[in-house]
Amino acid sequence: MSMERIKPHFPWITLIVLGTLVGIANPSFFNPAGLVSLTADVVPLFIMALGMTFAIYIGGIDLSVQQLANMVTVIATVYLAQFGIAVAVICIAAGFLIGAISGYATTRLYVPSFVSTLAMGFVALSVAKYLSGQRALYMDAELRNASFGWMFDNTAGVPHELIIAAVLLLLAWFLQTRTSFGRSLKAVGAGELAAVASGLNVNRIKILAFAISGGFAGIAGLIFSVKLSGGDANLANGFLLLAIVAVLVGGTPLTGGVGGVLNTAIGTLIVMVIRAAMVYLEVAATQQQMIFGIILIIAIGLTIDRTKLRIVK
Amino acid sequence: MNNWLTRDNLIRWAPLLVLLALICLFALIEPRFFSVRNAARIAIASTPALMVAIGVTFIIIMGSIDLSMEGTVSVCAVIFAFAFIALGGTLASFAWLALPLALLVGAAVGLLNGLIHVRFKIPSFMCSLAIGFVGTGFALLLTGGDRVRVEDELFRSLLTIRFLNFPIMVYVALACLVLAWFIQSHTKLGRNFYAIGGGEELATSSGLNVGRVRALAFMLAGMFYAIGALLAVGRIGIAETATGNNFMFVSITAVVVGGTALWGGIGGVWNTLVGVLIVNVINNGMVVIGLPNFVQDAVLGILVITAVVLSTNRKTVAFVK
């Protein structure tokens, strides 16, 4: 068996090996209730990473997701009283719109995606600071429970958060594999010039990919906001690194074209296991960012498709 | 007759014109903006950002990008502060050794960044972003989230002693700017940056060791980040994990707004000076004329996209990622 044939199976093998190691060192890790609550904890991160997968799948990157989620936590908190559960629509639409603008800047205006998303992230930060008056806001507990209380209930021991995550994963997987949009995404990721030459409307596909990334970041921000019962222009800070790590350790390379949303689900679980391991090994919270940064470099190095990069800029 | 009004000339001089127009605009709205006191305030705010932006200018000239500055600045600032205090806590003692140490740390982080980028063939924006995260994490690990105070009067004289109304740190920054200009225009290394940015394949086939030049560029950039870190600590007297915050966006905005194209090959440190001044004049001017400060982030965000759009020659770019 050659290296190239094993490579796609790396992520889930890594997950099982890591999970087993953590489980051997600390048998209580396999306690089903604990495992379910650990998994429920990474749901906002997973949803953000799910959206980011679309941006990376076409060979771009979305550095605005963290700021978008920040902005949405503020939007959700401020407009909850006025719109009730319909605030979700506003949150998703806001993320979708800003993502679409980043996509427009990348495709039509030739601004590389890391700059356009970084810049739109700062626009989102401005909106968040403006709406929040630069203060930490809190949701009214009754209103929150009336509109979004169902998110944290259980059905037969399965938290609804996990069901939301599963539904979104299914939706993203359907988009990626069962629609012509999804097939076009793969074409763009595998070779953009070839996709243009075969008559695909590449610009529209790319704009949509960034918009979906923004929309998912909006959902992630909304769930995060409801979970913490508040909003703040810095609430979701720290998510960007983990979201990129989740996508890359899942096996979707920076160069795009392979991998996809199922990989990101595995990637997020790997992040979860690593976090659990760090808690068990008593790695201080202050060290986690450094460790995930190093993991990110390793993951990029292992997954990236160098045949696509004639010149590495 | 119309020869001077070419696209090239326009791109070359547009940033300076924008800067002058901004200064006139703010001065008309609020005359207090146009005073020596306020100029000094803008200059002080600009100096650390100028150093960081000069560092990343070298990288952008090559057509690469470096997003590690926040982490590098934090690490340099924190290690400098710890070493400074451990060695005596005043410049008059052996604590001055902390200054070259900070430069070495910056160079080491930059070199590591460059080597990972070149050896493992990882695109620079992602490699440097990850290194930046590692750097911030490392600074957090060293400080445990605490602030380290550097209260030596001799070191703080960077800010407190003024010469012709401007503090010493402004002159230090200008000296470094001239040094950067010399490196860029009169050394082999500096010219090689332009060679790579102008056309990497051509540079390779002319026998240039592109990988080596790239790694050195990242090392050089790291040293300028370290100078920026020293000035930032000199300015507020505190080193902490958050010392590096915001440098990434501000410095990249400044470089791009100054007229150095993201595609590489054109622009330089003087453009960066204009760009840093544009960013800081906007930041300062908006406060002076009474706009709330949350508007700045959005204005800078739109500004950077506009600047990239204007500096892109669409005839030569096929597609971007």
Give A121's pLDDT tier (boundaries 50, 70, 90): very high
Residue A254 and residue B249: Cβ atoms within 8 Å? Answer: no
Does B4 fall in a domain?
Answer: no
What average pLDDT score do residues B288-304 get?
A: 88
Contacts of B68 (CB under 8 A, 6+ apart): B109, B110, B113, B128, B129, B131, B132, B135
CA distance B272 to B250: 11
Strands, E assignment, chain A: 137-138, 154-155, 158-159, 230-231
A202-211, B7-16, B33-42, B233-242: least confident range: B7-16
Q: Environment class of residue B8 by beta-carbon count within 10 Å: exposed (0-12), middle (13-18) or buried (19+)?
A: exposed
- Compute the 3-state secondary structure of chain B and give helix, strand, coil in percent, each to the nearest 5: 75, 0, 20
Residue B240 lies in a domain: yes
Nearest to A241 among B122, B133, B321 (CB): B133
Instruction: pLDDT band for A310, please (50, 70, 90 cuts).
Output: low
Cβ contacts of B318 on chain A, cutoff 8 Å: 193
Task: Give me the phi and psi of A49, to 5 degrees please.
Answer: -65, -35
Residue A119: pLDDT above 60? yes
- Tokens found for residue B319: 């597609």
Q: How many CA atoms lie within 13 A of A189 on its CB side?
A: 28
Q: pLDDT-based confidence at B294, cuts 50/70/90?
A: confident
- What number is the ipTM of this complex? 0.88
pLDDT at B319 > cutoff 70: no
pLDDT at A268 over 80: yes
Q: What is the pLDDT of residues B198-220, one digit of tens each?
A: 888 899 899 999 999 999 999 99
Segment B310-320 mean pLDDT: 69
Instruction: Provide CB contacts within 8 A for B84, sequence distance 6+.
Output: B95, B98, B150, B152, B155
pLDDT on residue B1: 45
Instruction: Give B166-232 as a DSSP string.
Output: EEHHHHHHHHHHHHHHHHHHHSHHHHHHHHHHH-HHHHHHTT--HHHHHHHHHHHHHHHHHHHHHHH
- A156, two tokens: 């037969």
Distances (CA, A) of B93 to B155, B159, B232, B234: 12, 20, 22, 17
Domain total of chain B:
1
What is the DSSP track for A123-156? Answer: HHHHHHHHHHTTS-EE--HHHHHHHHGGGG-EET
Q: Kindly state the percentage of chain A with pLDDT values over 70.
A: 98
Higher pLDDT, A230 or A155: A230
Task: Name the residue of chain A whose CA is nearest to B64's CA.
Answer: A313
* DSSP bridge partners of A231: A137
Domain membership of residue B316 (yes or no) is no
Contact B236, B158 (CB under 8 A): no
Residue B107, in any domain of the structure: yes
Is pLDDT of B47 > 50? yes
Residue from B67, B109, B126, B251 whose CB has the most chain A CBs within 10 Å, to mutate = B126
Chain A interface mutation, best of B133, B202, B316, highest count of A Cβ atoms under 10 Å? B133
Residue B63 and residue A313 in contact, taking contact as beta carbons nearer than 8 Å: yes
User: Chain A residues with CB inside 8 Å of B208's CB?
Assistant: none
The pair of structure tokens assigned to B137 is 């994490």
| Residue B103 to residues B76, B226, B228, Cα–Cα distance (Å) | 8, 5, 10
CATH number for position B258: 1.10.3470
**Looking at beta carbons, which residues of chain B come within 8 Å of A106?**
320-321
Which residue from A116, A120, A290 is facing B137, i.e. has the nearest CB?
A290
Evaluate whether residue B11 is within a structural domain: no
Q: What's the mean per-residue pLDDT of chain B?
A: 91
Tell me the average pLDDT of chain A: 91
In a domain, residue B124? The reply is: yes
* Domain residue limits at B260: 33-310
**Residue A8: per-residue pLDDT:** 82
B102 contacts: CB under 8 Å, gap ≥ 6: B76, B77, B79, B80, B83, B226, B229, B230
User: Would B167 be classed as within a structural domain?
Assistant: yes
CB hemisphere CA count around B254 (13 angstroms)? 33
The angle formed by the CA atoms of residues B190, B192 and B195, to the nearest 5 degrees, is: 125
Q: Tally C-beta pairs within 8 A across A and B.
A: 159
